[in-house]
Amino acid sequence: MVGSDRRTGFSRRRQAGVFLGYVLAVAGVVVGAALLILSTFNPPLFSALRMSVATATTPVASGVSGVGQAIMSVPRAIGTYFFVHSENARLKRELAASRALLTRARTINYDNRRLRALLQVRDRAEAPVLTARLVASTASSTRRFALLNAGRFHGVRPGMPVRGPDGLVGRVVETGPNAARVLLVVDPASVVPVRRTRDGLPAIVAGRGDGAVDIRSVNTTEVQFGRGDLFVTSGTGGIYPPGIPVARVVAAGRDTVLGRTVAVPDTFDFALVERAFMPLPPPPPPLAIAPPTQ
């Protein structure tokens, strides 16, 4: 025979390999059956054996796990490098744009202060009267009031604005010796003159009685309101100081849109009571009536 037959039956080495495989398989079955019988009839001994095997194999498993994590970290590190590089470039671009905006804001602020000096206009920034606790509010009624635990004895007077950490809450309408009643911005009787922060558009924030407000344009029609537009007090009317956040537009619309107040009285305990921005002058004294001459 010219060629040699390489099949398993004609090769002693392959026969020995197949026989060894059979022996290992049978041995594995026997060992598995023995472990199963041992775990069933002698659980403590099986538990000790299992822990001994785990103790012996833990260092090897830890080394293999470390090598695997090291290998897996290579593509992650490469991806992180490229991500950090692109993120760094993006942050540099944003920083350059922010510097330009900051320079523009500083220029506008300088011009504003210079014009105010020329017009002899001064800002009214008086110290607040006090900080009081909001002890109650009418959230389930169509009339929306809150109660302060401070009154006339603490210097609180009707007409004083009340604000929270986020924005305007309302104004004081009634005072007692140790308490004051606050008309909330969401009350139907509340009307607050405001302006839009992005362009100074004048508007009115009127309460609806259901926890929301209406934002209405003033003296103009076909005014477009965008979602998220922020409105702050304008100072018109002399009650509220300018610049206090009042409400945001919920949905875009024209002329009159739905808004939500920035400050929610139910979410905080304390409020700041301030003096009216331009308090009304006291009434003139009554004219003395001369007695009739005889």
Express each pLDDT in 149-205 by its tens digit: 888 888 899 999 998 888 899 999 988 888 888 999 999 999 999 999 988 889 999
Whole-number Cα distances in Å, 42 to 4, 29, 33, 96, 140: 55, 19, 14, 74, 69
For residue 257, what are the β-bridge partners? 215
Burial class (CB in 10 A: 0-12, 13-18, 19+), 214: middle
The tokens for 288 are 């003395």
Q: Helix (H, G, I), strand (E, B), or coil: what is residue 210?
A: coil
Quick: pLDDT tens for 140-165.
667 788 888 888 888 899 999 998 88
Average per-residue pLDDT in the chain?
78
- For residues 207 and 55, which has the higher predicted lDDT (pLDDT)? 207
Which pTM value belongs to this model?
0.55
Q: Which of 138, 217, 216, 125 is nearest to 170 (CA)?
A: 138
Q: How confident is the model at residue 112 (pLDDT cuts 50, 70, 90)?
A: confident
Q: Please give the share of the chain, as a percent, with pLDDT higher than 90.
A: 19
CB–CB of 274/159 below 8 Å? no
| Residue 94 reports pLDDT greater than 70 | yes
